[in-house]
Amino acid sequence: MGIRLSEWEDRLRPVLEEEGAELLEAHVGRRRNAVSLRFFVDREAGIGVDDLARLSRKIALILDADPVLAGTYALEVSSPGMNRVVRSEAHFRRFVGERVHVWTKIPRQGRTHFEGRIEGCDEGVVSVAVDRVGSVGFDLDQIERAELRLDPRRPPGSSGGKNGDRTPRGS
């Protein structure tokens, strides 16, 4: 089942919009006689266990309506946790000041992995204060993958970003 993230977003859009949630990652695999579906979702204000349970029930209704999947899947709907993927300009802006790992599609400065703090994001370019290098700009379309490394000991809003009233992430 090679359905891409954008296709899952399209299929689940009604439920996600209703819940004010966003699909961050989708993993599809095989588990015994069933398809294994793992969806990582979040919201601006964070997502809790009750939210995940409600989303899981609603997503299951969509999957049950699919004649190919009905009754032949294992579903997991989870919070992205402390080490989460960031994909969009809005994600990077929301987490200004947080630590991030960035993997690029092609080498930059002789490497494809960078670690540092998000400084900002504007017009498709993410600025990261890379450890022992300084400020580096990454075009969003040149980023293979980017993952936050949130600090669970940091109080909400202390990341230095514009969103000072941010609630803790994860469930």
pLDDT digits (tens, 9 = 90+) for 80-134: 888 888 988 988 998 999 999 999 999 988 999 999 999 999 999 999 999 999 9
108 and 56 assigned to the same domain? no
> 137, exposed or middle or buried, with CB in 10 Å at 0-12, 13-18, 19+?
middle
* Pairing, β 99-108 against β 111-122: antiparallel
pLDDT digits (tens, 9 = 90+) for 24-57: 888 888 877 778 889 999 888 888 999 999 999 9
Any idea what DSSP says for residue 142? G
131 and 171 assigned to the same domain? yes
Q: Which of 56, 78, 100 is the last residue of a domain?
A: 78
29 and 100 assigned to the same domain? no
Residues 6+ apart with CB under 8 A from 51: 19, 21, 43
Answer whether 0.75 is exceeded by the pTM.
Answer: no
Tell me if 115 sits within 8 A of 99, measured CB to CB.
yes
91 and 18 assigned to the same domain? no
161 and 107 assigned to the same domain? yes
94 and 28 assigned to the same domain? no
63 and 100 assigned to the same domain? no
- Number of domains within the chain: 2
The tokens for 26 are 């989708």
Domain residue limits at 59: 5-78
41 and 70 assigned to the same domain? yes
- CA distance readout (Å), 95 to 24, 70, 124, 158, 168: 15, 38, 15, 11, 12
